[in-house]
Amino acid sequence: MAYADQQMSGNRATAFVVVALLHVVVGYLLISGLAYEGFKQVVKRVTTIDVKKEEKKEEPPPPPPKKIAPPPIVAPPPKVNLAPAPPPVQTVVTPPPAPPPPVIIPPAPQAPPPPRFAPKGAAPKGNPGNWATTSDYPSAALREERQGTTRFRVTVGTDGKVIECTVTGSSGSPDLDATACAKIKARARFAPATDGEGQPTTGSYSNAIRWVIPKE
C-alpha cells in the first residue's frame, strides 16, 4: 500500500514538472511572437510618419513697459497742538446809554394876588373875664378848695357865636374845666373873623380861665 502511494506521488510530481515546462515554452513563444509583431508595427509607424517642418511662428513684439506713475505727493500731517485751546474771548457789546428823558419844568406857580383886605381873626366883645366868675365856682370844688387854670380854644362862627370849645390845658379838676367851657359858650361873643375880601369867615380864639377861691 505504501509503495503504491509512493509511486503515485512520483507520477504526480512528474506531471507537475511537465505541465510547468509546457507553460514556460508556451509563454516564451507567446512573448517572442508578440514582441516581434510589436516591433514590426513600431518600425512601420516610424517609417510612414511624415516629418513636417516646424514653421517658426513669429512672436509678437513685447508690449511696451507700462509707465509707473510716481506716487502722489502727500503733505505731511499737521502738527497736533496738545495744549488745550484757550477759551474764546467773548466780546461784550455795551449798548449806548439811552438818552435821558426830557425834563419837563413845570411852570412856576403864580403868586396869588394880594388880598384886598388884611384878614382878621375873631375878636371877643366885652371883657373875657366876665365869661366865668367866682359865683360860677362849682360847689364841690369850692368845699374841697380846689383851684387851677383851664386853658381853652374856641371856634367862632360867622355870626360871632362859639361853635365849639376845647380844653387845651386842664386845671386838674374836670368839673372846673367843664364849667369853664359851658360858661364860655353861653356868654362869649365875638366879632367874626374876616377873609381877604372883608367877608366874615370861621375863626378861632384861645385863652385861659384861672379858678381862684374867693376870700371873704
- Inform me whether the pLDDT recorded for 209 exceeds 70: yes
Give the pLDDT band of residue 33 (cuts 50, 70, 90).
low
Helix (H, G, I), strand (E, B) or coil at 107: coil
pLDDT number for residue 49 = 44
pLDDT number for residue 101 = 81
pLDDT number for residue 53 = 52
Give the pLDDT band of residue 18 (cuts 50, 70, 90).
confident
**Contacts within 8 Å (CB) and 24+ apart, 105-113:** none
pLDDT tens for residues 85-96? 666 666 666 777
pLDDT tens for residues 172-200? 999 999 999 999 999 999 999 999 888 99
Contacts with 96 (C-beta within 8 Å, 6 or more apart), sequence order:
none
- Inform me whether the pLDDT recorded for 128 exceeds 50: yes
pLDDT tens for residues 34-46? 555 654 554 455 4
pLDDT tens for residues 35-79? 556 545 544 554 444 445 555 566 767 776 666 766 667 666 666
How many Å apart are CA 188 and CA 128, to the nearest integer?
7
